[in-house]
Amino acid sequence: MPASALIAFEARKTPIQARSAVTVEAISEATIQVLLTHGAERFTTTRVAARAGVSVGTLHQYYPNKQALLFAVLENHMNHVAETVEAACENARIKPLAEMIREMVEAFVDAKMERADISGALYRVSANIGGPALIKRISERLRKAVEAMLQTAPDAKLPPDKFAIDTMLAAMAGAMRSLLEAGPSPGAVRKLREQLVLLCQSYMMAATSVR
Amino acid sequence: MPASALIAFEARKTPIQARSAVTVEAISEATIQVLLTHGAERFTTTRVAARAGVSVGTLHQYYPNKQALLFAVLENHMNHVAETVEAACENARIKPLAEMIREMVEAFVDAKMERADISGALYRVSANIGGPALIKRISERLRKAVEAMLQTAPDAKLPPDKFAIDTMLAAMAGAMRSLLEAGPSPGAVRKLREQLVLLCQSYMMAATSVR
DNA sequence: TCATTGGATGAAGGATTCTTCAGGTTTGGA
DNA sequence: TCCAAACCTGAAGAATCCTTCATCCAATGA
């Protein structure tokens, strides 16, 4: 991968006709498939194009380079997760603290598991395509959502600390990642869901009542 | 990176004379430096050799390929962290639960921060060189250490759940990673240390007394 | 001293990969 | 029907990389 990092991430061209929209979608899906079947090392634009049934040239018409291609898929995935969690936070306002946390955590776990394959595959490239910066942005979004939700809790004694929420989110994401990278079994997922709820609940309880 | 994954990870040759030991150490340190200054993409064996002041041939005499080189550094780093945490667990036996957790967590954070640069750099390649498998091994080690420690706690009502310990460790590592990838400031580290202690304490308290 | 083993060198073989661009094909409105 | 715009193609240019191997230098101990 000789490309110099972080240059030209924007999509090059926007689909206008219907067929090109199909092409772009095919490329996007092929990206995931190639990542899944060939691994991050042997992920090449040529392979993606072949899998998508288009030529390399076409691919490069929409994505200026390999990184942009991967970044687009990563961004898409993370946005989906973020939206799901945000919606859960909206929906859990005014409920008891423990219930809030439960709904938020379960929404997160479920959103991730919805496309566990993509999640797992993306971990392997995230760090090389500006993932951490993106994660930072998304985390901030989620922190705000969680913060707003917590402020409506009837049974929280203190306003929640921003840093504590960040920590909780990072911990949650970390545990999830650990599971996905290990290859999750249905049983393990169920258990993690439970444990993560308990973890976040007990931490938030402690963080909103102490200090 | 055309190399097929996971082949020949073992070191090729063991240093016998003193000068070769120096060489190997230089290569190891150069690996980190190149990772840090050039990024994971532009990490090449040639560059490492140049930085270490040896020829490519020499490098390949000790490490069969690029992955082995990176893996060795990763393994070394993780072993160091694991040993530190294990020692802390040894040392914290029979103390109150909260104190145990505090010492374990602080040992972990400190060990990671000790060489924050390496930690940060390694995140960027871990996934591509068999990191997850290694993490699995190390996690198991740590879980056993923590488990043994917790069983000596005078104030824990129930024997701790294995899965809960795994979850705690994964959460802890995840939060740490998040911080290191964001570029940690001294203040942020201090805060994370506190919060992580609180998080683990409250979770373990809940997990050892409920169910 | 000198033969033997350890250690180091770096040009070159063998492979890939990314990305471009000149030119052909399809679409959709006038 | 016709044409301009939108799309698509894929061979080829331009870089890099990884790894080997024949060869030379250094150390060691008999």
Which of A14-28, A30-44, A186-200 has the largest mean confidence? A186-200
Q: What percent of chain B has pLDDT over 90?
A: 73
Q: What percent of chain A has pLDDT over 70?
A: 93
What's domain A18-64's superfamily in CATH?
Answer: Homeodomain-like (1.10.10.60)
**A40 and A127 Cβ atoms separated by less than 8 Å:** no
Residue of A nearest to B204 (CA): A199
Distances from the Cα of A148 to the Cαs of A64, A89, B97, B167, B177, in angstroms?
38, 8, 33, 27, 26
What is the pLDDT averaged over residues B8-32? 81
Residue B171, min C-alpha distance to chain A (Å): 4
What confidence score (pLDDT) does residue B15 get?
76
pLDDT band at A5 (very low <50, low <70, confident <90, very high): very low
pLDDT band at B156 (very low <50, low <70, confident <90, very high): confident
Which residue has tokens 């909103």? A208
> How many other CB atoms are found less than 10 A from the CB of residue B99?
14
pLDDT band at B5 (very low <50, low <70, confident <90, very high): very low
Residue intervals of chain A classified under CATH 1.10.357.10 are 73-209
Closest nucleotide to A22 by C1' from CA: D7
- Our measurement of CA A46 to C1' D3, in angstroms, reads 33
What is the pLDDT averaged over residues A77-81? 97
Q: What percent of chain B has pLDDT over 70?
A: 93
What confidence score (pLDDT) does residue B12 get?
62
SS (H, E, C) A91-135: HCCCCCHHHHHHHHHHHHHHHHHHCHHHHHHHHHHHCCCCHHHHH
**Which two three-digit tokens encode residue B136?**
């699995």
- Our measurement of CA B68 to C1' C21, in angstroms, reads 40
Residue A12 CA to residue B31 CA, distance in Å, equals 36
Give every CB contact of residue B67 below 8 A, 6+ residues apart in sequence. Answer: B3, B5, B6, B9, B128, B129, B130
A58-72, A92-106, A149-163: least confident range: A149-163
Task: Tell me the average pLDDT of chain B.
Answer: 90
**A92 and A103 Cβ atoms separated by less than 8 Å:** yes
Instruction: Say yes or no to pLDDT of A71 above 70.
Output: yes
CATH number of B73-209: 1.10.357.10
Instruction: Say yes or no to pLDDT of B211 above 50.
Output: no
Instruction: Say yes or no to pLDDT of B2 above 80.
Output: no
What is the pLDDT averaged over residues B148-167? 91
What is the pLDDT averaged over residues A159-163? 88
User: Per-residue pLDDT tens for B67-121?
Assistant: 999 999 999 999 999 999 999 999 999 999 999 999 999 999 999 999 999 999 8
Instruction: Say yes or no to pLDDT of A197 above 70.
Output: yes
Could B127 and A163 be called an inter-chain contact, meaning their C-beta atoms sit closer than 8 Å? no
Could A132 and B40 be called an inter-chain contact, meaning their C-beta atoms sit closer than 8 Å? no
Q: Is A53 exposed, middle or buried (0-12, 13-18, 19+ CB in 10 A)?
A: exposed
What is the pLDDT averaged over residues A53-59? 95
User: Per-residue pLDDT tens for A101-142?
Assistant: 999 999 999 999 999 999 998 998 898 888 999 999 999 999
pLDDT band at B11 (very low <50, low <70, confident <90, very high): low
Could A127 and B40 be called an inter-chain contact, meaning their C-beta atoms sit closer than 8 Å? yes
Scan residues 14-43 of A and list those with Cβ closer than 8 Å to B. Answer: 39-42
Q: What percent of chain A has pLDDT over 90?
A: 75
pLDDT band at B176 (very low <50, low <70, confident <90, very high): very high
Residue intervals of chain A classified under CATH 1.10.10.60 are 18-64
Test the A interface: residue of B167, B192, B194 with most A CBs within 10 Å: B167
Instruction: Say yes or no to pLDDT of A172 above 60.
Output: yes
pLDDT band at B9 (very low <50, low <70, confident <90, very high): low
User: Per-residue pLDDT tens for A174-193?
Assistant: 999 999 999 889 999 999 99
pLDDT band at A3 (very low <50, low <70, confident <90, very high): very low
Residue B21, min C-alpha distance to chain A (Å): 31
Task: Considering only residues B11 and A133, tell me which one the structure prediction assigns the higher pLDDT.
Answer: A133
